[in-house]
Structure 1
Amino acid sequence: LKMGEFSNGLFGCFNNCTLCLITYIAPFGIYFVAKTREKIREQKGIDGGFGSDCLVHLFCPLCALVQDAQEIQPAAQAESMARE
């Protein structure tokens, strides 16, 4: 049984320079988690901006994910208790 291979090598990103630049400057994953953080901030009235949300998730991704989850968690727990 032959295993599949990536159609582009690890450094094949240079085959599409436009896509390479876009993902280097604003990685797609960073965009989506930053948008989620932005929604949390808006709902909670927390100061900040989308640019800072991107930077936080770029340089401290694990801490930012935990912080975001902890902001959401109390609301989820309250809903769960209300149903009981």
Structure 2
Amino acid sequence: MPASYQPVGHGPSCFDKVKMGFMLGFAVGMGSGAIFGGFSALRFGLRGRELFTTVGKTMVQGGGMFGMFMSVGTGIRC
């Protein structure tokens, strides 16, 4: 009878999963913030430095919010 394979080691901890959820959510939020913030800023007629600061602020805010929600959701599932 062949020996059964038993993998050694453990999966990622709950904290690692929450960190990964935050990073994934932050990346998705940054992307959506770039798209929506860019269109919004261009619609308001912003150009140059004002455009980049407004879009950057929107990206960080969107990334933070979506990252927080993803990390909380991942923490609930742990």
TM-score interval, smaller chain: 0.3 to 0.5
Bigger radius of gyration among the two: 2
Q: Which has the higher contact order (CA 8 A, sep 6+)?
A: 2
TM-score, length-normalised on structure 1? 0.33
TM-score, length-normalised on structure 2? 0.36
